[in-house]
Structure 1
Amino acid sequence: MASTSTTPSPPATPHRNWLELPADLTSSILQRLGTVGVLVSARKVCKTWRTICSDPSMWRVVNLGYSDNSAYLKDFDCSLDSGMEKLAKKAVDLSCGELVEFRIEDFASDELLQYIANRSGQLRRLQLVSCYGVSTEGLSEMIKKLPFLEELRLYYIPVSQQAIEVAGHCCPQLKSFSFNRHGYRWPHVECDEDALAVAENMPGLRYLQLFGNKLTSNGLLAIIEKCPYLESLDLRQCFNIANLEHDLAKRLSQKIKVLRLPYDSTEDYGYDAEINDWDSFDEDYPSGLSDIDIVSEDYDFYEFSGGSDIDMDSDYMLYDYI
């Protein structure tokens, strides 16, 4: 009689208790959820995670914006900036003064900037993107309280060159600066205010990005002469300097190690790089704008309302609202 054989069962997978992971490993995993994910979700899972999420080391880098947090904010509309601002304040509070990098996109107010500055004197890196509620005065007052700032990146922020001047005077360790606009080839407008403000007030820069700026060869020359340590210069969509004189172009190429020119590719830019030319004109000015209107980008913006305020006194914050 033939013997029968049985296939041995695979060994049972040992049960893993995720709460037994080392705290530093758990912290690293949770940080991948992003600031909003940790604040509105991970902190509520259990006491162990809540303790880990309350460690100031979790909040040295804070990144807040709508686009990166759609999974958590899917039930919100864009009018709820106040809710996002309260999340930002909670992150600042949890950092206990250890915050070194803050990135904000799509929302912010002067009041929020003051809240951050008053509690984050060690801040090294600040990035603001499409924060239309921020004014020149509000940003300037914040920068005055950040003497250790090394990197300042401003994308599509309606502030004037005054903020550049303040940053140059109050942030002696500033090495990297971005002041980016939307690129325009037409109408043809020349304005060296930003470039001259950089040249006169930021001599220690190593990296400079002026994406979409209206500077001319005069402004560019001032930067070259008065920023002796400059190694990287990004001038993409700065169409006024697309055809530089030979001597200036040669001097630029000799001095700058990493150079991006007006028509270089924007694939790695990471933000809106659409060229916003005006195609229609009304008599002397496009869309009825004057010379002053065209040159100035310190516009006023309407404030939309309708979003409900959110009670952030609860430790659960937005989680209960969602």
Structure 2
Amino acid sequence: MKPQMEGGEGAEGSSNCDRNWAELAGDVLIVIFLKLGMFEVLGAAGSVCRSWRKVAKEEPVFWRRINMIDNGYFCFGNWYGSKLIHATRIAIDRSGGHLEEFAVNDFADDEMLRYLCDRTSVLKKLVLVSCAQLSAEAIAQTAKRQPLLEEIEIKFGPFSEQLTEIVGTACPRLKSFKLNHTRYNMPPLDPDNEEEITSNDDEALGIAKTMHQLRHLELIGNRLTNEGLTAILDGCPHLETLDITRCHYVNKDADMYARCARLQSVMFFSLSYYGLDRVWDDA
């Protein structure tokens, strides 16, 4: 039999097999866990052994940011929905009141936001995507209970015309606000057979009145007009980037071009009822 030399391939393999992974130092485990996804820490990594589970449960640094959007699961049926809700609540509990960023998709409802607000008051970023079960009232109450919010993104979800003013008043530190209304405010394909959606500047005026610290604003599919956009530009002096893609009632005339010239980036895009109407480059 060929002898194994010290430091050779055989010795290294033996060392790997004999290593006690349960004895890894806590700071090393933290580095490893931070490279994993949230579900891996909740499930596999936290189930390896007692010491790993202790770090996964009791180290709040893992749970300051909870992203349930990139979870790899689709919420088809009550079974998946209940599993995701249960996992989300566990993650919120483990944050120990230090949760700063929370992103969730279609399975979120009013009760989940109440659960969130009962367990943290230091939230800085809130992302809600395709949350059809959520009410505008729940979003308003969340904003009132999270005054440190700096970033809010609502995509394909409920949003009343008065909510921008409520959110802006409740969250004076707001620097980024993204509202995507595309599914709800698209013009009808056949205006002769469907009720036409009309312009409305209520949301824009709410932003202009209350969100004076905004740096980034996205209003995709909004019904604001030049009047509403002008109010935003006047009321948000720190604004750097603006995205009003598919805002069909904004007319980029010479005056609007001049008003947007101070911004670092502007995105305009408009569709006619029957196809591409016009595309504007950054101002």
TM-score normalised by length of structure 2: 0.81
Return the match for 2:30 from 24, 27, 31. Answer: 27
Q: Distance in 2 between matches of 1:229 and 1:134?
A: 31
Give ranges in structure 1 of 5+ residues lacking alignment.
1-5, 264-274, 280-322
Tell me the residue number matched to 1:41.
44
- Confirm or deny that 1:128 pairs with 2:137: no
Amino acid at match of 1:58: F
5 Å matches for 1:101-250? 101-182=101-182, 184-186=186-188, 187=196, 189-241=198-250, 243-250=251-258
After TM superposition, give the deviation of residue 196 of structure 1 in Å.
1.2
- Confirm or deny that 1:11 pairs with 2:13: no
Return the match for 2:56 from 53, 78, 90. Answer: 53
Q: Distance in 1 between matches of 2:180 and 2:199?
A: 16
After TM superposition, give the deviation of residue 150 of structure 1 in Å.
0.9
SS in 1 for 2:177: strand
The verdict on how the C-alpha distance between 1:188 and 1:109 changes in structure 2, with shifts beyond 3 A counting, is closer
Amino acid at match of 2:76: D
Any conservation in 2 of the 1:180–1:213 contact (CA below 8 Å)? yes
Superimposed CA distance per residue, residues 176-229 of structure 1 (whole angstroms, 9 cap, x where no aligned partner): 111112163545632212211111121111111111212111111110111111
Superimposed CA distance per residue, residues 58-90 of structure 1 (whole angstroms, 9 cap, x where no aligned partner): 10100113xx333xx58x734332332222111
Superimposed CA distance per residue, residues 88-134 of structure 1 (whole angstroms, 9 cap, x where no aligned partner): 11111111011111110122111110110121101111111111111
Tell me the residue number matched to 1:69.
71
Return the match for 2:266 from 248, 259, 266. Answer: 259
Aligned length: 255
Amino acid at match of 1:244: K
Any conservation in 2 of the 1:140–1:162 contact (CA below 8 Å)? no
Amino acid at match of 1:227: C
Q: Distance in 2 between matches of 1:161 and 1:190?
A: 12
Q: Distance in 1 between matches of 2:89 and 2:206?
A: 32
Amino acid at match of 2:9: P
- Confirm or deny that 1:79 pairs with 2:86: no
Q: Distance in 2 between matches of 1:121 and 1:163?
A: 20
The verdict on how the C-alpha distance between 1:39 and 1:258 changes in structure 2, with shifts beyond 3 A counting, is same
After TM superposition, give the deviation of residue 277 of structure 1 in Å.
6.4
5 Å matches for 1:279-290? none
Same amino acid, percent of matched pairs = 35
Q: Distance in 1 between matches of 2:123 and 2:107?
A: 19
Any conservation in 2 of the 1:121–1:145 contact (CA below 8 Å)? yes
SS in 2 for 1:128: strand
Amino acid at match of 1:86: H
Supply the RMSD in Å over aligned alpha carbons: 2.6
Q: Distance in 2 between matches of 1:117 and 1:61?
A: 15
Q: Distance in 2 between matches of 1:278 and 1:44?
A: 55
Q: Distance in 1 between matches of 2:272 and 2:50?
A: 51
